């Protein structure tokens, strides 16, 4: 596995490139609002996928590139996602897009808007701000027409298991995978007996099983 760096829409893209024969699908990942291209789960997932022959790319949004704490306007976030998707798409390869928290949420929005993708994976989807379940970000869910995986921790303050189950029911044929004791950052307490790396591995396994079940792989 090797990594290549490129610039798309003025943001950095890191592509993890498999050695030898490649799978018939690829993954593109965007980070959460408070992270960047070195988002721990994104880096782990992309590198791990590449070692299994699956091309994977990760990128950051313009405000992250500029080291600004304030996220870009929604249209900039969406346009950046679309530009990276177009630039990294490999001919003859199924594309699965996703990300953690905000990165995954924007991926769901462009998928709902008709982006040409085979699947969607939202890790730690930020259903609502903590303490404000009445402001759920689900208006676009019925418009998502591709297989969708939602992977969240049972301690995620941005959406309880019950709230996530109710919300994802609005995405036809979606899959909800819950990770015991993980929070929004995929961290688990020591008493759980698990490490964050093990949680990362569980989330990645959920993704691999998802693409197999839907005939994407």
What is the length of the chain?
A: 217
DSSP 134: G
pLDDT at 211 over 90: yes
- Cβ neighbours of residue 166 closer than 8 Å, sequence gap 6 or more: none
Positive/negative CA dihedral, 170, 74, 100, 112? positive
pLDDT digit string (tens) for 111-152?
A: 999 999 999 999 999 999 999 999 999 999 999 999 999 999
Q: pLDDT tens-digit profile of 82-101?
A: 999 999 999 999 999 999 99
- On average, the pLDDT of the chain sits at 97
Q: Are strands 25-30 and 56-59 parallel, antiparallel or unpaired?
A: parallel
CA distance 78 to 59: 13
User: What backbone torsions phi and psi does residue 8 show, to the nearest 5 degrees?
Assistant: -130, 130
pLDDT confidence tier of residue 21, bands split at 50, 70 and 90 = confident
pLDDT tens per residue across span 97-114: 999 999 999 999 999 999
* Domain of 163, in residue numbers: 2-213
Q: 23: which DSSP letter?
A: P
**What average pLDDT does the segment 45-64 reach?**
97
Q: Is the pLDDT of residue 20 over 90?
A: no
pLDDT band at 57 (very low <50, low <70, confident <90, very high): very high
Query: Rounded to an integer, what distance in angstroms lies between the CA atom of residue 52 and that of residue 46?
Result: 10
Residue 206: pLDDT band with limits 50, 70, 90? very high
**How many domains are contained in the chain?**
1
At 142, which CATH number? 3.40.50.1820
Q: Which of 22, 213, 206, 12 is nearest to 121 (CA)?
A: 206
């Amino acid at each position: 596995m090797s990594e290549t760096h490129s610039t798309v829409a003025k943001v950095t893209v890191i592509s993890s490139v498999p050695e030898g024969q490649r799978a018939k699908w690829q993954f593109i990942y965007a980070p959460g609002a408070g992270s960047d291209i070195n988002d721990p789960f994104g880096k782990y997932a992309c590198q791990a996928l590449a070692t299994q022959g699956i091309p994977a790319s990760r990128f950051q949004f313009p405000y992250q590139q500029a080291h600004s704490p304030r996220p870009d306007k929604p249209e900039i976030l969406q346009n950046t996602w679309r530009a990276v998707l177009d630039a990294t798409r490999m001919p003859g390869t199924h594309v699965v897009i996703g990300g953690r928290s905000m990165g995954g949420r924007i991926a769901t929005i462009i998928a709902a808007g008709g982006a040409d993708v085979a699947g969607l994976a939202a890790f730690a989807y930020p259903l609502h701000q903590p303490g404000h379940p009445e402001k759920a970000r689900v208006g676009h869910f019925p418009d998502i027409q591709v297989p969708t995986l939602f992977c969240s921790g049972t301690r995620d303050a941005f959406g309880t298991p019950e709230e996530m189950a109710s919300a994802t029911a609005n995405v036809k044929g979606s899959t909800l995978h819950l990770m015991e004791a993980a929070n929004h950052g995929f961290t688990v307490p020591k008493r759980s007996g698990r490490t964050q790396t093990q949680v990362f591995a569980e989330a990645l396994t959920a993704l691999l099983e998802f693409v197999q079940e839907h005939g994407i792989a």
